[in-house]
Amino acid sequence: MADRGCPLEAAPLPAEVLESLAELELELSEGDITQKGYEKKRAKLLARYIPLIQGVDPCLQTESRVPGPLLTAPTAKPQKPRANSRDERFRSDVHTEAVQAALAKYKERKMPMPSKRRSALVHSSVETYTPPDPHSAPPDVTTGLVEHSHFERPQMASVRGVPRGHGRNMLETADGVPVNSRVSSKIQQLLNTLKRPKRPPLKEFFVDDFEELLEVQQPDPNQPKPEGEQMAVLKGEPLSVGTSGPPTLLAALQLWGTTQPKAPCLTALDTSGKAICTLTYGKLWSRSLKLAYTLLSKLTSKNEPLLNPGDRVALVFPNSDPVMFMVAFYGCLLAELVPVPIEVPLTRKDAGSQHVGFLLGSCGVTLALTTDACQKGLPKAPTGEVATFKGWPPLAWLVIDGKHLTKPPKDWYPLAQDTGSRTAYIEYKTSKDGSTVGVTVPHSSLLAQCQALTQVCGYTEAETLTNVLDFKRDAGLWHGVLTSVMNRMHVISIPYALMKVNPLSWIQKVCSYKARAALVKSRDMHWSLLAQRGQRDVCLSSLRMLIVADGANPWSISSCDAFLNVFQSRGLRPEVICPCASSPEALTVAIRRPPDLGGPPPRKAVLSMNGLSYGVIRVDTEEKLSVLTVQDVGQVMPGASVCVVKVDGVPYLCKTDEIGEICVSSVATGTAYYGLLGITKNVFETVPVTADGVPVSDRPFTRTGLLGFIGPENLVFVVGKLDGLTVVGARRHNADDIVATALAVEPMKFVYRGRIAVFSVTVLHDDRIVLVAEQRPDSSEEDSFQWMSRVLQAIDSIHQVGVYCLALVPANTLPKAPLGGIHISETKQRFLEGTLHPCNVLMCPHTCVTNLPKPRQKQPEVGPASMIVGNLVAGKRIAQASGRELAHLEDSDQARKFLFLADVLQWRAHTTPDHPLFLLLNAKGTVTSTATCIQLHKRAERVAAALMEKGRLDAGDHVALVYPPGVDLIAAFYGCLYCGCVPVTVRPPHPQNLGTTLPTVKMIVEVSKSACVLSTQAITRLLKSKEAAAAVDVRTWPTILDTDDIPKKKVASIFRPPSPDVLAYLDFSVSTTGILAGVKMSHAATSALCRSIKLQCELYPSRQIAICLDPYCGLGFALWCLCSVYSGHQSVLVPPLELESNVSLWLSAVSQYKARVTFCSYSVMEMCTKGLGAQTGALRMKGVNLSCVRTCMVVAEERPRISLTQSFSKLFKDLGLPARAVSTTFGCRVNVAICLQGTTGPDPTTVYVDMRALRHDRVRLVERGSPHSLPLMESGKILPGVKVIIAHTETKGPLGDSHLGEIWVSSPHNATGYYTVYGEEALHADHFSARLSFGDTQTIWARTGYLGFLRRTELTDASGERHDALYVVGSLDETLELRGMRYHPIDIETSVIRAHRSIAECAVFTWTNLLVVVVELDGLEQDALDLVALVTNVVLEEHYLVVGVVVIVDPGVIPINSRGEKQRMHLRDGFLADQLDPIYVAYNM
């Protein structure tokens, strides 16, 4: 690394001061000392040597770094350890400085911190429990919260603009948003963050239209391009096959085992560092023979030998037992069997163990060798056998401890051939996606590898080697098990468990055994540095080679440098450190040799990160921050040729200044992936070609999976692995580089043991970078958030790439690889499945996702006339349809007679006095009250008399009816008609929830200008209670009359309206967008409505229908209060509230009364589907039979919920419900009943439309199951007398068939206008008197405010005409206009609910152009944060939208009205006023 310009170099410091400084550095990096304490102690140490500058880091006084040249050879003089060297895994000082400098460039930006409920911080495992930190309590989001029982959903239709909570005065903005809201200030912060000027956006690479054109990303014209010559193939020195040594590995084993039986071969240590077993060459030989004999002679099944030469055998040995492994390995070789070493599966669901099972199955393994102790520790099946692991083939387990083996006869000797191309062993390799493959290594490669390693490492007989690596694979196996035996060396094997307890153990063993060589990873050097304080007596002067097996990791250089700094004073010579590069496919690729073995001096390269991301080598001069310093991994192996080829496509040779994949051609490489011919050819039989396409050699090359280049003096440099590569846009980034940058932000203080995983996930056609880190158990919320935002800034400025998701998990919770590293593919799997359980998440889709389709540009408006002409030219008819004509259906005489409902009731009371009209059921299913025609008439008279006498009301006065669902409500309604008053039905307040529901009641009473309130005794008391006074001003109620005990009185004369156009009643309802709208219904419209429903449903006095609806507004009110009186049929009334205590009430009533027609709401249907799912058998036993039902209609003002109606139909098919019975209705404020299936006519049809086209206001029909398809069901048949047309939302011109537009309706039962629209009067003036701008401009239409389309089907109506189906897509008020497109919340919500099984419900809304997604978590609070990324991903993938805020709440928080519709605006107000008590709020950056 380039020396830094520090004045320290001027005055040489004594060795002990340098050592103390190095220790101080380590303490700081480990977080064992504060920055302040560090500076104090450091100043003290340096005070004597630098009297001028006290307490200041001299390095900070001058330019912090002198950029080094590209390749620096070390100078001849011995390098002094630098005083300021901080040692980390994966870190070079240059890099840490670069990161800190990059962060300094950013001023601390205010980013909104996520809000988290306190309880969500507590994680289940005790070891990861974070004690609550008094300084970091998250903002209190519980103020003004309405208490709900946990799962009970607030069924309310309260109105926006009414302050909720307890009369708190809040300033409100025009949007009804409280100004003091903490949430909105956070959103403001988020908006400010997003407004920052970003880098110029990448060229959009696909247009989202009918055909998705994936444009190729245009290359950046300024990107660096390789300019060097084409490289030449690099050849290593010849492999000198020693004449003196044994010719093969097994010959060596036999030679040493018989001539030097006492020579030590392997020493195994226990976790305290004591030698537990030394295997001599004699023992190894005799035990291996014994095992070979047992395997060949003693294992039989049905007198056939169990194993044949060449069969594969699994070796399952723990990392603490190298002795038994070695015996097993050589025993297999002697018996001509192929060993397949794998990890010990500790549980049935180990990370990646399923993939290992796949490998064993594909290798045809039937036998596993293991030790007694290991076998006892394996999970067992109930039979006592070893359990079968998930995905594993059935295995026989053989324990190979001495007592289980049979001694061979004196003269027995195996005929093992260990030369040639037969497979010697199979080494497993886990690829990027977690799948496991087996690399086959033939005997010839095995021998060549041992000879080459002997040659380059200068191994000699009886040398001692200390091995810290896994002896089952890779360099640990090649050096510590194979080459060592070839040379009769003594290996000291250090188990991973010992390294965990005592990271210094390997150094102590080098010291005590005077080892000449040691085999380590940079991690081991790093951990030993941290542990070496106070160890004065270690001496490393015996080492002639310290082989760093992961020298190919670009960040090993910092460990090497730091290790040398500290241990040079303990006898370590700089030239001893030998990084090497290897891969499972090519075995050892290159290794640095000490000068005495002919190696050139080591070199370093300081490369531009930006250049590397384009695959180009550039010396970094301008941008000093983003550099990568790499060390060479030495020269090519003897007898091998090496070249570098392009990563993708044809393997062309790279230029000399270009990064590519290193390929090796040699006799010492693996030859295939076992059983996988296709990928074997790609990897093991690559033929590199020159730019002209000429092959560079007649021998195939093996791809190593390493990325790098060849530097000066033919040294090999590696800059990363193909597996760790992420391609974002056109640039490549290496996972290890990003890990290093993250670690350099705040080394070791925050991240637990440096455990960080980086991987990429594909979202919306591109790789997105995800970084997951384990946080220290004592870190607070603020710490973690600050660390996350700094990591984002560092990665952004050093790698110029955005991180899509940053997740923090508690310490020790990421899945571990066998030797303690992080199991990346398993971590990725958990992230995608939502089982990672992070404790903090930061998503940055706004900065990363630069390839969204272009926002839709609105076309210059096409005039309505040209649209009609266009339709005619295209052969499309104008989209209009109508129900049956009323005139043909009924004599006008009866229609005239039934013009006023009050008259109809009197007529029925006179002609059929005892005919029952209403039956009301309670939760037990018993009839609590009934009303015949005469009873209802008499009760209505009493109410009318009371209103006139007690209430002193005049005709035309408005009266609010506040009743629970029941006959009282109906009687009060007709009582009002009898005296000429105008009734307004109002849902009574909820006694447990007065604070929220009473203000709505009060408001409707006030807005409707009611002169009197009629109610029951209980509700009257409630309206005047103390609790009510806390929510509203009870002194301002109008007269309240209790109708429970009014005297029996007749009215002198019943009021008869002067004309049918006089107002009959007011219908008030709160829309899902929170707008309270009251519509006026005239007497003519009321009777026309009843007439249409009667004709459509064939209602006569002999019929019974069952109604499970709320009776307060819309069609529910009409069916409950009006239709029975008009048609004379009997209505069985089931209040939906009663279903909460008896779910089967409605269906039992339908069955008991044999109702042909029944009506319900979506919330009722959902309760039945969820609550009775498992009880259909029990209901059948009770005699519930639904075969009587001709039609079951869901009363709704929304798009039909197909999935719910289908699951309801399927579920209750067992109870006889006909498949075609379930359908939906459609009505809205301007006309409460536009469509209604009725008892005749064709079945409702379903079509599939392209969801992307809908966003552009177009309808495109697609096949079922095609991507982006959305099923839409017809909303029932258009009612008699109703005409419907589809009009353009802006030009108001008529549209063609299958075009999406606003549904306009013309009918005798249209409401006559709004009485009031609370909140938005001006907007709705033209709703009832709209005319088309072209075409039929005479007809007066009412605008429904709903988008939909008409489509002529192949079916025929009763009249023989082809049937026109109306499809409702959604309410215009609710649509979200985002990126120029129109989205329906329900579509986004459906995607989100599918994203994870614990999402119970979801609602979306927008706030200042940000999309806010609220999800209800039906699961543990600590799983809440898993949902953030999944929700963001699914909305991006399926809707091309970036989610701004994800809010996770408890079940039941999303308010739902009585019709089962989500009150999204109400939810929005609650969110902005901080009233939701969310579990977690994530602000996506």
Residue 1432 has pLDDT above 70, yes or no: yes
Measured over the CA atoms of residue 1235, residue 1239, residue 1241 and residue 1245, the dihedral's sign is positive
Surface-to-core class of residue 830, CB atoms within 10 Å of its CB (0-12 exposed, 13-18 middle, 19+ buried): buried
Helix locations, 1153-1201, DSSP H: 1162-1171, 1176-1181
Are the C-beta atoms of 890 and 1076 separated by less than 8 Å? Answer: no
HSE of 1388 in the Cβ direction (CA atoms, 13 Å)? 30
The whole-angstrom separation of Cα 1331 and Cα 1337 is 6
Residues 6 or more apart whose CB falls under 8 angstroms from that of 810 comprise: 123, 125, 128, 130, 774, 775, 777, 839
Residue 888 has pLDDT above 70, yes or no: no
Among candidate residues 1349, 1340, 1339, 1281, the one with its CA nearest the CA of residue 1313: 1340
Q: Give the pLDDT band of residue 50 (cuts 50, 70, 90).
A: low
Beta bridge partners of 918: 931, 1131
Q: What is the 3-state secondary structure (H, E, C) of 863-924?
A: CHHHHHHHHHHCCCCECEEECCCCCCCCCHHHHHHCCCHHHHHHHHHHHCCCCEEEEEECCC
CB 1141 within 8 A of CB 923: yes
For residues 1216 and 1245, the answer to whether their CB atoms sit within 8 Å is no
CB 462 within 8 A of CB 490: yes
Amino acid at 1407: W
Give 1317's pLDDT tier (boundaries 50, 70, 90): low
Handedness of CA 1144, 1149, 1154, 1158 (dihedral sign): negative
**pLDDT tens, 703-739?**
999 999 999 889 999 998 998 888 887 889 988 888 8
Backbone φ, ψ for residue 184 (5° rounding): -70, -25
The whole-angstrom separation of Cα 727 and Cα 734 is 9
pLDDT-derived band of residue 152, with 50, 70 and 90 as boundaries? very low
H/E run at residue 1001: helix 994-1007
Distance CA 1047, CA 1061 (A): 33
Tens of pLDDT along 825-862? 889 999 999 999 999 999 988 888 878 877 777 665 55
Q: Cα–chain-centroid distance for residue 98?
A: 33
Indicate the SS3 state at residue 1133. strand
Longest dimension (CA), the chain: 132
Read off the tokens for 128. Answer: 């990861």
Q: What residues contact residue 1474 under an 8 Å CB cut-off, 6+ apart?
A: 141, 143, 144, 181, 182, 183
Residue bearing tokens 């060849």:
710
pLDDT of residue 1112: 93
- Dihedral, 793, 797, 798, 803 alpha carbons, nearest 10: 50
Report how far residue 759's alpha carbon sits from residue 935's, in angstroms, rounded to the nearest whole number. Answer: 75
Alpha helices (runs of H) in 725-849, residue ranges in sequence order? 735-745, 781-799, 824-833, 845-848
Quote the pLDDT of residue 1164. 93
Q: Which residues pair with 1158 in a beta bridge?
A: 1106, 1192
Give the C-alpha separation, 490 to 279, whole Å: 9
pLDDT band at 131 (very low <50, low <70, confident <90, very high): very low
Please say whether the beta carbons of 1184 and 1147 come within 8 A.
yes
How far apart, in whole angstroms, are the C-alpha atoms of residue 991 and residue 590?
80
Q: Residue 1388: what pLDDT?
A: 95
Lowest mean pLDDT among 291-305, 457-471, 640-654, 1399-1413: 291-305
Q: Shortest CA distance to 290 belongs to which of 259, 330, 341, 255?
A: 330
Average pLDDT over residues 157-172: 41
Least confident of 371-380, 571-580, 615-624, 637-646: 615-624
Residue 818 to residue 343: CA distance in whole angstroms? 7
Separation of alpha carbons 120 and 1423, rounded Å:
9
- Which residue has tokens 């190894």? 284
Token couple for 97: 């400085």
Phi, psi of 534 (to 5 degrees): 80, -5
Where residue 1407 falls among pLDDT bands split at 50, 70, 90? confident
Share of the chain above pLDDT 70, in %: 84
Kindly indicate the confidence band of residue 1179, based on its pLDDT and cuts at 50, 70 and 90: very high
Q: Which residues pair with 213 in a beta bridge?
A: 207
Phi, psi (rounded to 5 degrees) for 1431: -65, -45
pTM of the model: 0.80
Residue 819 pLDDT exceeds 60: yes
| 3-state secondary structure (DSSP) of residue 1281 | coil
Q: Pick the residue with more confidence: 1208 or 57?
A: 1208
Cα–Cα distance between 47 and 41 in angstroms, integer?
10
pLDDT score at 1411: 94
- The total of other beta-carbon atoms located within 10 Å of residue 785's CB is 18
Quick check: helix, strand or coil at residue 209?
coil
Integer Cα distance of 759 and 770 in angstroms: 6
Record the tokens describing residue 244, joined without a space: 């003196």
CA-nearest of 1257, 1406, 1249, 1288 to 856 is 1257
Which DSSP state fits 196? Answer: S
Whether 1447 contacts 807, CB under 8 Å: no
Distances (CA, A) of 213 to 219, 278, 557, 1382, 1482: 18, 68, 46, 21, 33
More confident residue, 1113 or 80: 1113
pLDDT at position 445, please? 93
Rounded to a whole number of angstroms, the distance between the first and last alpha carbons of the chain is 36
Compute, in degrees rounded to 10, the torsion defined by CA atoms 728, 731, 734, 738. -70
Amino acid letter, residue 968 = D
- Structure confidence at residue 198 as a pLDDT band (50, 70, 90): very low
DSSP string for 1313-1339: EEEEEET-TGGGGGGSSB--SSSS-SS
Cβ atoms of residues 460 and 244 within 8 Å: no
CA–CA gap between residue 735 and residue 713 (Å, rounded): 29
Tokens of 1368: 């409702």
Compute the mean pLDDT over every residue in the chain, rounded to the nearest whole number: 83
